Amino acid sequence: MKKDILNNLMNDNGADAVLLHSPQNRLWFTRFSSSLGYVLFSKNKTYLLIDGRYHTMAIESKELINVDEIINMNNASKQINELIQKLNIKKMIIESDWVYVNQFDSWSKIFKAKLIKTDTSKIRMIKDQWEIDQIRKACDITNLVFEKVLKNIKIGMSELEIARFVSNQFLELGAQKLSFDTIVASGEMNGSMPHATPSNRTIKEGDFVTLDMGCYVNGYCSDQTRTFAIGETINPKLIDIYQTVLESQQKGISALKEGISSGDIHKICFDYIESKGYGEYFTHGTGHGLGIEIHEEPYNAKNQTEILRAGMTVTVEPGIYIPGLGGVRIEDDLLVTKDGFEYLTTARRELIHIKG
């Protein structure tokens, strides 16, 4: 399937090879992770060029797929150019969304093939079953961490302490690493900033706390946000915001299926929030694709026109943030299917009150 995607890319661009340089596209195609390396994909044969730090690891790897020959890389440009000549490559695709300008200039001088600058940011949009399984595993760990947070959080804990607790739990439960720095945003001030950095602020009765977190499993990530209440005495305006965000999210999720445009998912969520009078407080896009990267194509955001297809994995995460009052965001990861969607994240969505 991935070979088909690269073959189509070559045909669309009249090329006879693809050079993958970005860590995310190399991991996607080969399931082998390394900071540096190259995949040279041609009509008949695929080469992985990898330096001494990874060479043995690549040879011994049980996960490696789609590679015919592993080359010990010591002079990448020279070795790639030798392959270009040996395989008689005339036109080679390079990743215009990743390769630096100075790298391109140098390759243009050295390589005996015409370089076709091609945007590859959409080649990973549709996930295969193995990829979906890894994302699901990451989401399952995320739910376990969320339940641990709910059990262990106490009035007087700081946002930073909660973030540290989250990090430890992810690693103890078998995550490879966190997929991004955990966001813990509590109260009137931090809660009203969508991507607040955890601070020394301690949580207190009446707070809304927004927790945005995720982890990696086998190179694939999860991304989940929940807002919960501390105690029972909550400003009714916050309760109203919560219900509005939840209903907006449910409307957006229910609309997911093959054939709808990513921009429409945003519009459905936004229009509902606007109809309740909170339009000016929903200041970001509704969601994004996720997989090897935490934010990747397609984007469920304003003016986006990508048509969602079965196998895409996306978030739906509307929010409302009111300075001086606080904020709410509810985020799930979803698999788009032919007839609808499946939840990948499973954490409870109704408003949870924590007894401090």
Provide the binding-site residues for Mn ion, judged by CB under 5 A.
Answer: 223, 315
Residue with Cβ nearer Mn ion (334 or 351): 334
Residue with Cβ nearer Mn ion (42 or 313): 313
Give least dist CB 250 to Mn ion, A: 17
Fill in the amino acid letter for 8. Answer: N
Residue 20 to residue 307: CA distance in whole angstroms: 25
Residue with Cβ nearer Mn ion (24 or 315): 315
Residue with Cβ nearer Mn ion (20 or 301): 301
Residue nearest to Mn ion (CB): 223
Give least dist CB 73 to Mn ion, A: 35
Residue 241 to residue 279: CA distance in whole angstroms: 11
Residue 156 to residue 280: CA distance in whole angstroms: 32
Give least dist CB 317 to Mn ion, A: 5
Fill in the amino acid letter for 96. Answer: S
Residue with Cβ nearer Mn ion (248 or 315): 315
Give least dist CB 189 to Mn ion, A: 22
Question: How much is the CA Rg of the chain, to the nearest whole Å?
Answer: 23
Q: Are 161 and 321 in contact (CB under 8 A)?
A: no
Q: Which residues contact 287 (CB under 8 A, 6 or more apart)?
A: 252, 265, 266, 299, 300, 301, 314, 315, 316, 317, 331
Residue with Cβ nearer Mn ion (223 or 306): 223
Residue 224 to residue 203: CA distance in whole angstroms: 21
Give least dist CB 261 to Mn ion, A: 19
Residue with Cβ nearer Mn ion (16 or 296): 296
Count of alpha carbons within 13 angstroms of residue 345, beta-carbon side: 30
Residue 198 to residue 195: CA distance in whole angstroms: 9
Q: Of 213, 212, 190, nearest to 201 (Cα)?
A: 190
Bridge-based pairing of strands 326-329 and 91-95 is: unpaired
Peptide bond preceding 323 in cis form (omega within 30 of 0) = no
Residue with Cβ nearer Mn ion (33 or 313): 313
Give least dist CB 235 to Mn ion, A: 26
Give least dist CB 251 to Mn ion, A: 18
The length of the chain, given as a count of residues:
356
Give least dist CB 290 to Mn ion, A: 7
Q: Are 353 and 231 in contact (CB under 8 A)?
A: yes
Residue with Cβ nearer Mn ion (46 or 300): 300
Fill in the amino acid letter for 216. Answer: Y
Structure tokens at 322: 């009111």
